[in-house]
Amino acid sequence: MEAHLLKFVERVQCLSENGDGDAIASEYARIRQQNGSMKEVYGLTAETGGTKENLKKNRYKDILPYDQTRVLLGPILPDYSSDYINANFIKGATQNKTYIATQGPLSYTVGDFWRMIWQYNIQVIVMACKEIEMGKKKCEVYWGSLVEPSTFGPFTVSTVEESCPDEEVIVRTLAVKYGDESRCVSQLQYTAWPDHGIPCVPDGILGMMELANIRQASHTAPMLIHCSAGCGRTGVICAIDYINDLLHEKKIGDGFNIMDIVLELRRQRPSAVQTKEQYEFVFHTVAQIFEKALSKSSPSHQNKTKFLDSPSLYSNVVPPKPALRSASIGSSNPDLKTRKPPVLRPRSSHPPPSSKMNDTYAVVNKTKQPPTPRTVHHYDNLDLESQKNPQDALYSTVKPKNRAAGTAPVYNRALPVNQRGSMPSLEAEHSGYEPLPAEFRPRNSQLQPSPTQALSDGHSSSDDDYEYVTSPIRDGSSSSYCSPGGLGFKCRIKKPKGPRDPPAEWNRPER
């Protein structure tokens, strides 16, 4: 079997070195061409998912489960009597291995989702998406929090434990209660799969599936795998785990072909491995699995494999820790993490930024700029005397529209700030504004009344009978509808103007 593994790895590496990625892409094109004829040959239909009562249960109208392999639900309550859910059975590589590929549940199908888990005694759930991606909801939250449980129809779900073995995977232990019976279900969520893309490296997925198989152990219940639509990412994970089981069962022979495996998956679940990039990702991931298996073989096999002396399969692998770099690459059992960065990597719509100077085509030396002076931020609750904005402040004072040049804004009439950030003089402050009445002034204000106000106060105190909504400008310009303090209509401070007559005490000649 080692010869077949080596043959596949050398093929993938040869495609990478020659830059011939079209060979894998052409295989995927043939898969799409055979998709239509495969439906006719096997008589695949999707009539149940297209009925009027079931259409609303599909997240995507063009991804409907095949009738021949769809999951049937048993009735448990009058409200849950329908047997339909957008899910299909997929046969595994071994006799006791089965997958359920399904879409991420909707808000009104979460009850059916847990009904399927309970009916088929699911032990492990693999979630290949996040709840929200690119601002769109991809999957409904179907588990409870660590604080309190959540109820989905007749099921109560609590999160007993939650951990992150690495930055890409979240592992939850869920307690599901139905009636008087309770069960434990393991959920593994992969969070580093970009929407409309592929992961940068397969290490996280391989680690997650290894943990999922440990949790599955010898249970014969199906392993539930879902993403948003339950076809693209779900199909990739099923294909990788399927081939990994073939490797453990030593069933990788001369006729090993990823194309045939993907076609078999698509015969059971529509659009499994949905894009060309996902198909390429399966190739590169399988090559890494085979390379790791060969590295664990005897030294005689390692000496025959020239790929062990060449760069590894991925150029975007995270560099190893300094303690591991000192390990000998030419040792009899080299660790994959201590090898040189690989040259072959999957094409991703979200490529990671390169951190190696070898990938840099040109380096431009720029003169060092003088350090930027530290910006002092000012807050309203600080000492007013210390709020002196620097000349190069990061934020300039917002100037309201339709204001005379050089006029201070009206947001803080007692202590306005000019455009440069410095405090204006008292004369500049009162040059264009009506003074505030005593009850509307700030308590700590030390402003002196203007001569106009002093004269008015000397004759009468009737100005205090007015409600000062805003401080108008004396230049005669009316307040804009959208200006700060504007009310959407003309507002006069002295004598009110409107359809109703003013009070009698207001009918006095203006001085």
| Domain spans, the chain | 2-338, 366-511
Predicted local distance difference test score (pLDDT) of residue 339: 42
The per-residue pLDDT for 401 is 55
pLDDT of residue 503: 66
Question: Six-digit token pair at 357?
Answer: 């100077």
Nearest to 279 by CA among 225, 232, 345: 232
Answering whether pTM is above 0.85, one says no
Q: What is the block-wise mean pLDDT of the chain (511 residues), using blocks of 10 residues?
A: 89 78 88 91 95 95 96 92 96 94 96 97 97 94 95 96 93 96 97 86 95 94 97 96 95 92 96 94 95 78 46 39 33 40 45 48 52 42 44 50 50 43 43 48 47 44 44 45 51 58 64 56
- Give the SS3 label for residue 131: coil
Strands (E), 252-366: none
Give the separation between CA 268 and CA 65, rounded to whole angstroms: 9
308 SS3 class: helix
State which amino acid sits at residue 470.
T
Report the distance separating Cα 223 and Cα 98, nearest Å.
Answer: 6
Place domain 2-338 in its CATH homologous superfamily. Protein tyrosine phosphatase superfamily (3.90.190.10)
- State the burial class of residue 357 (Cβ atoms within 10 Å of its Cβ: 0-12, 13-18, 19+): exposed
Please provide residue 433's backbone torsions phi and psi, each rounded to the nearest 5 degrees: -130, 150
- At residue 251, the pLDDT reads 92
Q: Are 150 and 144 in contact (CB under 8 A)?
A: yes
Residue of 483, 511, 507, 480 lying closest to 496 (CA atoms):
507
- Give me the active site residues, please: 227
User: Structure tokens of 276?
Assistant: 């060309």
Cα separation, 284 vs 21, in Å, equals 11
Phi, psi of 317 (to 5 degrees): -70, 140
Q: Residue 175: beta bridge partners?
A: 158, 184
- The Cα–Cα gap between 439 and 456 comes to 16
pLDDT of residue 381: 40
361 dihedral zone (left: phi>0; alpha: psi -120 to 50; beta): alpha
